Amino acid sequence: METPIPIDSNNPVPAWLLAAHVACGFPSPAEDHAQTRIDLNKVLIQHPDATFFMRVRGPSMRDAGIDDGDWVVVDRALEAQHKDIVLAVVDGDYTIKYLSRRAGRIRLLPANPTFPPIEFRDGQLLVVWGVVTWIIKPTRPVALRRAA
């Protein structure tokens, strides 16, 4: 996994926002075609000085909707809670997993049954680096995105 990239929240990242909601089930009539501009930093970032982007490698969180090549937004200012998806450092390597805290036992759980949970031995160090707050994923294959 790559190194986290700090976010430059001083420069807005504008995008168009349609004034209507979209149905993922049955189609609904378009309410309005009004558009406004939004700043993606304001949508994605709660704590600018503690937020980072990171590219995901590997399929261990596939069933949580986090796939190889996706980007995640990681907020270091949030306190990790049981069942949060976290960016952790285990034995010097970054990993993204569900944090499990039960009966005084801390584990990192993958969202893919082909990967084992990460259990900690005495003396082994776990650092919860931050909480994953957003997943950014492409909807087109890389070859199509590059050709556009």
Q: How confident is the model at residue 34 (pLDDT cuts 50, 70, 90)?
A: low
pLDDT at 22: 66
User: Which of 9, 97, 100, 137 does the annotation list as catalytic?
Assistant: 97
What is the 8-class DSSP label of residue 139? Answer: S
Model pLDDT for residues 125-138, shown as the tens digit of each residue: 889 999 999 999 98
* Residues paired with residue 15 on neighbouring β-strands, in sequence order: 38
Higher per-residue confidence, 1 vs 40: 40
Average pLDDT over the chain, rounded to an integer: 85
Global model pTM greater than 0.85: no
Phi and psi at residue 43, in whole multiples of 5°?
Answer: -80, -40
- Cβ atoms of 117 and 102 closer than 8 Å: no
Is 97 one of the catalytic residues?
Answer: yes
Is 60 one of the catalytic residues?
Answer: yes
Q: Between the CA of residue 85 and those of 75, 82, 132, what are the distances in Å? A: 11, 9, 6
Measured distance CA(99)–CA(14) in Å, rounded: 33
Report the range of poorest mean pLDDT among 39-53, 98-112, 134-148. Answer: 134-148
pLDDT at 27: 67
pLDDT at 11: 78
Q: How confident is the model at residue 9 (pLDDT cuts 50, 70, 90)?
A: confident
Higher per-residue confidence, 66 vs 14: 66
Q: How confident is the model at residue 37 (pLDDT cuts 50, 70, 90)?
A: confident
User: Which of 60, 83, 100, 137 does the annotation list as catalytic?
Assistant: 60
The stretches of 97-136 forming alpha helices (DSSP H) are none
pLDDT at 32: 56
Phi and psi at residue 32, in whole multiples of 5°?
Answer: -165, 155
Q: How confident is the model at residue 146 (pLDDT cuts 50, 70, 90)?
A: low
